[in-house]
Structure 1
Amino acid sequence: MIVKNTYGVSVAFSIAKYGIAPKSEFTGSALQRRKPLNKPKAKKKESKDRERRERSLSRRSKQKIRKKITCFSRTQKRLSFVTLTFLNKVSDEQAVNVLRKFIDNVKKRSDDFQYLWVVERQTKNDEFKGNPHFHMITNKYWKIEKWWNYWLALQHKNGIVPER
């Protein structure tokens, strides 16, 4: 099973299904990170650089995501890539809440549903600049008509309606 938690992406496998536990290199724990040797503190940079850094992933984070996807792809025969976008401007909390409800419903209706998701901010959409959307890699075959309509209905139910 692949799980997304508050602090980053974590991987937990069912030993019963695969027979052995994968190496610990795929856990992504910050406790496994080597501590740097007394580096001098960097000077504070301008707020523009700080804003840019907050909105982009570090090289280490990108590497961890690649490792998780590689591990996931080696344990699954077929994977699907899904992008979930919103009808209108939403807050981060509201977006994650709708995604959580969506995933909970998918889990109820699918056997052995496994997934990995990443949130990304829209940059090319001038109307909803900075709006979150989700990229998911799953082991499920998606019937687009059914699940896309559910995704839209779930947004309406949670007060996210298109602008008119």
Structure 2
Amino acid sequence: HDLGKAVSHEVGGSHALVGAEIARRFGEEAGVTHAIEAHHNEVEPRTLTAIIVQAADAVSAARPGARREALESYVRRLERLEEMAQAFEGVDRVFAMQAGREVRVVVDPGSVDDLAASSLARRIARTFEEELQYPGQIEVTVIREFRANDFAR
């Protein structure tokens, strides 16, 4: 539905109307082109498909990190998650992923054993619950990697 975003800056006009015109030129059926042009209410939505595309576009736009103006707060949120997890003893590296819905924590296997890794995941998750407000849930995965190497000569 947003294919007009790829060219609207070159041809002028809204991406919804430009996208619908491109879809028409390439033989897309009328119901699809109508849903494209109606997804920002520039054309009154007259079909269930158009209304569904409009609703899906609104839901997608509301997700964290979807809009440029929200990018700064999105990046701050990811950094905050990483900083909070990094503060725990034995943590080597932290990666916030999936728009902040998952945090992977890599620990030093010399200072964090298997049991402590499990406990650490629980403690980090509780810290997020107590100190942050967020939609849905955040999965915390603690990774404790041990490698043993030798050489055959």
**TM-score when scaled to structure 2?**
0.28
Q: Which has the higher contact order (CA 8 A, sep 6+)?
A: 1
**TM-score when scaled to structure 1?**
0.27
Which has more strand, going by share of residues? 1
